[in-house]
Amino acid sequence: MNNDLKKLKDEFLMYLYEISKMKMVGYIANFIQGEDALMLRLFLNEQMTPKELSEELKITKGRVTAIVNKLKNKKYINILTNENDRRSINIFLSDLGRKTFQTRLDVANEYFIDVFRILGIDDSKNLVYQIENLLKKVKEANL
């Protein structure tokens, strides 16, 4: 690796480390793993089966079951048995779950609106474009 690339890589990793300490990462992490990630999928899709949740979240069915049980105990979800196949269930947000999740989403939305307001519209658009570009190129390169 040439010196310029090494320096750039080190700088990039340092910025990632700084970003990891920001409140922003907490909001993002909550929506990509665990209970909030599952609730987000239900919020967006109305109802899903454990198999669909497992595939969507890229977690085992056992982990889905554990999260579902926690959310059920909190009364955040409801479960209906599929009338056509008694072995299959559909999971959906309860009214309490939808309200609770909407509150979490509103807090995160306000935070990101503040971040974009501070950046300004042009820098915000550029940030989104650069992230999109990174994701596209990494995916194309199969990295």
Express each pLDDT in 9-18 by its tens digit. 999 999 999 9
**pLDDT grade for 30, boundaries at 50, 70 and 90:** confident
Check whether 1 has a pLDDT greater than 80: no
Cα–Cα distances in angstroms (integers) from residue 32 to residues 5, 9, 28, 94, 95, in the given order: 30, 25, 7, 20, 22
Which domains can be identified in the chain, with CATH numbers? 33-140 (1.10.10.10)
Using alpha carbons only, give the angle 52, 94, 51 rounded to the nearest 5 degrees: 10
What token pair was written down for 118?
């501070």
What number of other Cβ atoms are within 10 A of residue 116's Cβ? 15
| pLDDT > 70: percent of the chain | 99
Express each pLDDT in 54-105 by its tens digit. 999 999 999 999 999 999 999 999 999 988 888 889 999 999 999 999 999 9
